[in-house]
Amino acid sequence: MFWIWINVVKVMNSIYFIIEISDSSRYGIGTYLHQVLKALEKTSFRVNVVSLGDNGVNEIAVRVENGIRHIQIPSSSYRGIIGQTMLERWERNLFYVIIPYVSMEDKNIFHFNSYSLYWFALKLKQNLDCRILLTVHYQGWCLDLLGDRQRLQETLNALECDTVTSHVKDSVYKESRFINEIADHVIAVSESSRDNLLSVYRVDPLKISLIPHSVKYENFNYPDVDKWQERERLHVTKEEMLIVFAGRLEIIKGLEYLQAAFIELLQEDKDLRLVICGSGNYDYFLKTSTPVWNKITFTGRIAREELYRLYAIADIGVVPSFHEEFGYVALEMLMSGLPVIANKTSGLRDLLGNERFGLYFEIDKKSFSRTVKDLKAKMKLLLYDRTVREKYRQNIQEVRLMYGIEAQKAKLTGLYESLMKSF
């Protein structure tokens, strides 16, 4: 009798989460990665995080943390070089850098989080039996045109191209190419984002999954926080009502409107303080706050835990952004039980659910003063009407159910499993 030994290779379902180290990764995309990894804990997937342009390493480094393999790839001198040819070469070479860490026997999904790695994704698709998944965290034209859909159509139809027009057309083309030619599936994080994918990029609706962001609401439980001690640390008096803004200090975040509304409110009530958390263009926003510099606190970028403690002691939060694909900051404020005012736009409009979870104001791009007046009125209502504030605080459990980590986990793992079955 002859025995034949057969070496059976166990096929694994592997996820490669691709992230570029940048300012975005330290804010929204970084938060997304953190929450997705939480959602994928104790699942059957083999999870890898590929960090591109990691200044923390001088050579490729691999570490395993909580069962997740982190592959850190250092910055290259080719990044930022003028010339499409060099950029394309750098991206194509990434394939050869990452391939030693990819098991060919596995079912591999490469989960991208930006459009900028077209050539890398193309090389993967051409040479591996894999699936390419893209989460849409931003759309370039939204940043350039402050989310103005009408202006987008005018720009795309324009015969003459200035710098902005040319950049918008180029970004829409590149983003559409990645979505329609490379990605096997796309995650939209809000109804607004999904609508843009359908109408602007002409994406097949069957190719889109709506999976809103989530957070682990246990992170926001600070019953023992000493409200007055925290306020004293921030130089906030017991009499002052505390208003919080968190985000990058950029024009698209709408901070000018908040500063102007706050300055007008101070003329009626001196017992107010605005705390601005985030990094960015300090010079510009410090100048715009000059009249009331002693009533505005700039903290810079602070640790996530410190920010959540701030939410726990604040009276209201304001998210005045022109555009948000989803609005992580608003969600984190809501999870903290903090009443929120947000611009009625894009993902923020979807998140607040027709003012079920917070108040809207509307940015009128033709009238700065009208916008400030609207925001001021909403701030007064939320600050001084305890009944309204309590109404929103009571809806926290519904927010936690809709946007808790378990909701995202079910949808995300379901999508991964569906893509695995397509092999």
More confident: 38 or 360: 360
**Mean pLDDT value across residues 121-143:** 94
Query: Please, which pLDDT band fits residue 282 given cuts at 50, 70 and 90?
Result: confident
Query: Please, which pLDDT band fits residue 11 given cuts at 50, 70 and 90?
Result: confident
Domain covering 217-403 in this structure, CATH number: 3.40.50.2000
Instruction: Express each pLDDT in 312-360 by its tens digit.
Output: 899 999 999 999 999 999 999 999 989 999 999 989 999 998 899 999 9
* Cα-based distances in Å from 299 to 99, 278, 338, 342, 423: 42, 7, 19, 21, 49
CA distance 119 to 91: 6
Beta carbons of 316 and 379 less than 8 angstroms apart: yes
Q: Is 13-214+404-421's fold the same as 217-403's?
A: yes
**Mean pLDDT value across residues 48-74:** 90
Beta carbons of 99 and 110 less than 8 angstroms apart: no
Query: Please, which pLDDT band fits residue 375 given cuts at 50, 70 and 90?
Result: very high
Q: In what order do the strands lie in the sheet with 340-343?
A: 296-300, 272-277, 241-246, 316-319, 340-343, 359-361
Q: State the pLDDT at residue 76.
A: 67
Q: Is the pLDDT of residue 47 over 60?
A: yes
Domain ranges of the chain: 13-214+404-421, 217-403
DSSP state of 326: S
CA distance 274 to 291: 13
Beta carbons of 268 and 237 less than 8 angstroms apart: no
CA distance 323 to 145: 9
Compute CA 356 distance to the chain's CA centroid, rounded to the nearest angstrom. Answer: 22
**Mean pLDDT value across residues 6-33:** 76
Q: State the pLDDT at residue 25.
A: 53
Query: For the chain, what is the mean pLDDT?
Result: 89
Beta carbons of 95 and 75 less than 8 angstroms apart: no
Q: Which of 45-54, 69-78, 332-341 has the lowest mean pLDDT?
A: 69-78
More confident: 162 or 85: 162
Q: State the pLDDT at residue 223.
A: 61
**Mean pLDDT value across residues 383-404:** 90
More confident: 39 or 21: 39
Q: Is the pLDDT of residue 243 over 70?
A: yes
Helices (H) and strands (E) in the chain, counts: 17, 14
**Mean pLDDT value across residues 51-72:** 90
Q: State the pLDDT at residue 288.
A: 86
* Cα-based distances in Å from 168 to 162, 165, 171, 371: 10, 5, 5, 26
Beta carbons of 375 and 366 less than 8 angstroms apart: no
pLDDT > 90: percent of the chain: 65
65, β-bridge pairs: 68
CATH top-level class of 13-214+404-421: alpha beta
Whole-model pTM: value is 0.90
Closest Cα to residue 134, out of 184, 63, 80, 59?
A: 184
Q: Which of 75-89, 160-174, 175-189, 325-339 has the lowest mean pLDDT?
A: 75-89
